[in-house]
Amino acid sequence: MTKRRHPRHSLPTTHRLCVYAILIYSAFPTLALAKNTQTPATKPAKQTTTHNKKRRKAPILFEASTRERKKPTLSAGSDEVEQKRLSTYSQDQTSDLLRAVPGLHISQHTGRGKAHQFFARGFDAVHGSELELRVQGIPINERSNIHGQGYADIGFLLPTAVQRLRYRMGPFSGHQGDFAITGTLEFDLGLTQRGLSITGSLGSFWQKQLALAWGP
């Protein structure tokens, strides 16, 4: 009696194929789910990058004030004294107006008829030898004089005709002249009132003064 022999590996092989098929089938939903889960995460990143690019391209605006600022034209040792302030000083002589200049002392040791002696910041400028004086931009220091070079007499100026006094202490500007060792004094002439003006004064020792000015 003969017995039929079945192949040993036919049944296990079939089972293996079924197991592999089940594993592969079950793996597809997981991959699809992972793909669907990762895709929305990448889109916001692209949108953020595009948004950043648009933000960088936006123009930057600057606002500034159009108010003009006055530029400083004078140094610490320089200034201008207007006629309104000069009128508060004595109008006896033009030298009285120089009291508005800090660090400047004036004396007249022989009375009127001779130029004043100036002392600027402790230096003896004599009668203008070391102090430059100008009237309407014209230097009045004499190149040669018996009292010394640079002699300057301001006795011919009327105090009421001085509209502005400028001073610059020290030789620190290229616009100053040869005698500006201790500084420069400039007188600007002018009248605040147009027409005819008459001023007079009386003082001690029978001092009398009369000034007549005409401004067209």
Question: Which tokens go with 15?
Answer: 């089972």
Q: What is the pLDDT of residue 198?
A: 85
Q: What is the pLDDT of residue 28?
A: 58
Q: What is the pLDDT of residue 77?
A: 76
Q: What is the pLDDT of residue 184?
A: 94
Q: What is the pLDDT of residue 185?
A: 94
CATH code assigned to 78-215: 2.170.130.10
In the chain, which stretches have pLDDT less than 70?
A: 1-16, 19, 23-57, 65-76
Read off φ and ψ for residue 52, nearest 5 degrees. -65, -40
Three-class SS state of 138: strand
**pTM, two decimal places:** 0.59
